[in-house]
Structure 1
């Protein structure tokens, strides 16, 4: 026999079919997901209320459906056939209905009995706050954002945590007053870990008991209902289950769930579960479905691509076992384990958050990019004289600005990048093309008490020395105070690392991927330079340009460095 499958109770609003998860001929089990739909508030899956074989699919992707809409027709399975035979025998049918009623009463009673009671204290109750679904890996608590006694609203951030892949915040699943904090900075937590205890209004606790009481009352009422309503009870069960799914999807949308890096991936709950099983960050998967939705085939193709890269030894940071070298496709022996304490007194000092993040990035860039460093030096005698004159004038006019050598170097670099745009490019993900950037944003490495950061100064080629000086002072101050936002450190196309104020004659800076080159500036010094007739004292600054040899060859690097040196030797060329 055939069985019409309709949309259960999902509320009053229409939803859009975003993905059909089965096809004609598939054998379906009860509660198996049939469709993915999306409304104004949430994305959810429509489960099957019964088992059977898909005979017809009455909807297609993009259709609008609502509660009661016909979506599929099933051919009945063995359970349906058994039901038909029972219907033919009134006595058997009555016995089956009585058994269903008894089972339902028993289940509801068990549910009511097993419902945990809240711990009451006068007019309030204590409720545990646990870590929501953040994947399988433990994360480290880096900051506690509330304290005991604080009144917290639902979705307010409670903790900052950091894992191997991202930093994120844990939101409050409900409102209340912080009674206890069960974790401290540095602790490792995972999905389901107890982090806090909230004190909530007694009404919230009473509602739990009321729900248990109502379950008992419902079971008593069900016993008195007419046997003829057995079928409608079954329909209501399916509707209730689906409604619960919609509610849980709603909660996830409001913040109870976790979205890595706070980036939203357009995917159904089924796809999210699949991604969690494989440990995949959906934000990195290219969605080919309607409106950029990530579908099952996208996840499968992404996994296949990672497998191919791993087999060819070209994948970095894609997970797996065997340590960092294994991730990078190398078969290296592990570091020896040394007990340093047997040689003398030791102390373990944890790395700062910035040190850990930058360390991983630097290691990846050093191993994956074939570095070459071109060394040169520039005569900045005239530039330094001009800089000192302008600083004296600025101080006399009380302009509130100080010109540093770095600002002039930034302008010279911007001019050289216009002449050699390859240095302002990035290699595409597949390594088959260059992405040429039509803007010049320079990253400036800044040494802070917590480690190295690289804020970005935008449109350097379009700004004057005065404007750049003020902006550099401001962004350097923010960096040292730890007030840089993620936007302040994004968008760079070339980086400058200046150690001239400290010392050194040369060094090999590491390319800041996905950029393809970086300039290192060392301490300037007076050197004798031959002018054709005699030696003259000249102020020379050492330049070290590291570059990605896959993109830039040695001859081009030498020309770029020589051009940069010539601009620094005569800054009048910058305005030409």
Structure 2
């Protein structure tokens, strides 16, 4: 066989192989181009992955790390806009309503009412996918595989919640908000939950049936009493079996524990004196008589009756002009060189015994207020404290504190200074005592006792005594106090 005849079949097979390879390459390239185009179309039509945005609980006050969820104003599926209220929270110091910063739909609540929410952690998830999509994306033809296959998992709507589950959740929430829920402070409600009690079974002795801490304790003690089992021995009746109960601290108690523990580092200087306030009694009675009959019914006064506290508060503020160091605070930014910060504002705190515990809101800029304005602001703070509605702004920024223990009945007190202040004044019970006049005759005299504590690291005894004496004089001679009003 010649060489030419042998070469022809070989060339034919080579040409066939090259043609098949070229066809497969063309088919592969077309498939790659089709898949890239399909992927580009998917990029233009899918929703953004960040449509659901976590809404974080922001810091609502000084040093607050957690707060209790009091109530929700929204539920999953609810539409919200910016500044719509989402929930109400109770911190160690105050209750605050949290509002939304976004427009969208609530997808998830991270806490139930009564849970402790952590500052900086998600509070709710808000779906912002209902915002208008980008209209600039060019449409592309869907692939056959995409048209025949189910929708992508990421684009699928969440499965509907069964009606029975939704109704059960609603029933549970309705059961938790019984007829006494609004008549108890967050601290009391938390105590009830921790003890596993039904608040509707507790008899409230507060205003309008409000359930107090004492009511919960009384209810627990009553339930712990064993039923009568007939006559017993005298020894057994005299020494009933008692068990200790572990009770966690309420948020207010926990904050008080931290604050008072820090106060142990302050060396307290104590000073007490007695003031005869008969002339102040006369002035107050005259003012209250005038308030009872307003001169302009169309513009009634902000309060109808004032106590002695507005006078005491104004007397302290007026004396601070002569002793500004009592209104200062220590700055330990450099521990080796502590500094004294002089504060021009007289933000005078007033210790209050509220249903939630001890709280100390303060009246801002007392140096600029009249006695009537102080009385009106004091009444507002007392009402808010009784209702558990004191805001964070009411509780921060104090420069000096007054504690009126006389409302309870005490005469003398050794008040404790908080670390952001250098002095505190305690006020005892006002009472009438026998005294001698200048002729030696026995006459009645109205007196009140003032007890002072000062930070002895920067306030010496002489300064504290002179400050206290000036406050005493303003209370004994209210005409002098009035002459100092600005």
**TM (normalized to structure 2)?**
0.55
Give 1:185 deviation, angstroms: 3.5
Is 1:142 the counterpart of 2:69? The answer is: yes
Sort the Cα spacing of 1:130 and 1:435 in 2 relative to 1 into closer, same or farther, 3 A: closer
SS in structure 2 of the partner of residue 523 of structure 1: coil
- Which structure is higher in RCO with an 8 Å CA cutoff and minimum separation 6? 2
Q: Which residue of 1 aligns with 2:328?
A: 425
Q: Which residue of 2 aligns with 1:268?
A: none
**TM (normalized to structure 1)?**
0.47
Sort the Cα spacing of 1:203 and 1:459 in 2 relative to 1 into closer, same or farther, 3 A: closer
Q: How many residues align?
A: 331
Contact 1:131 1:170 survives alignment (8 Å): no
**Residue range with higher mean Cα deviation, 532-541 or 483-492:** 483-492
Is 1:151 the counterpart of 2:58? The answer is: no
The structure 1 residue matched to 2:374, chosen from 455, 468, 478, is 468
Give 1:549 deviation, angstroms: 0.7
Paired residues for 1:327-342 under 5 Å: none
Query: Structure 2 CA distance, aligned partners of 1:197 and 1:529?
Result: 70
Contact 2:362 2:397 survives alignment (8 Å): yes
Q: Which residue of 2 aligns with 1:363?
A: 261
The structure 1 residue matched to 2:287, chosen from 390, 394, 399, is 390
Query: Structure 1 CA distance, aligned partners of 2:357 and 2:270?
Result: 24
Is 1:413 the counterpart of 2:341? The answer is: no
Give 1:197 deviation, angstroms: 6.7
Alignment gaps of 5+ in structure 1: 1-104, 217-340
Query: Structure 2 CA distance, aligned partners of 1:128 and 1:391?
Result: 59
The structure 1 residue matched to 2:467, chosen from 560, 569, 572, is 560
Contact 1:440 1:458 survives alignment (8 Å): yes
Paired residues for 1:246-285 under 5 Å: none
What per-residue deviation string (whole Å, max 9, x for no partner) do you get for residues 167-211 of structure 1?
99999797653455453244466799886677786999x99xx9x
SS in structure 1 of the partner of residue 406 of structure 2: coil
Alignment gaps of 5+ in structure 2: 1-31, 144-223, 225-240
Sort the Cα spacing of 1:531 and 1:166 in 2 relative to 1 into closer, same or farther, 3 A: closer
Q: Which residue of 1 aligns with 2:395?
A: 489
Query: Structure 2 CA distance, aligned partners of 1:470 and 1:194?
Result: 39
Sort the Cα spacing of 1:549 and 1:402 in 2 relative to 1 into closer, same or farther, 3 A: same
SS in structure 2 of the partner of residue 550 of structure 1: coil
Contact 2:280 2:477 survives alignment (8 Å): yes
Give 1:496 deviation, angstroms: 1.2
The structure 1 residue matched to 2:357, chosen from 444, 451, 454, is 451
Query: Structure 1 CA distance, aligned partners of 2:378 and 2:119?
Result: 42
SS in structure 2 of the partner of residue 500 of structure 1: helix
Paired residues for 1:304-383 under 5 Å: 343-344=242-243, 346=245, 348=247, 351-352=250-251, 354-364=252-262, 366-383=263-280
Question: CA RMSD for the aligned pairs?
Answer: 4.9
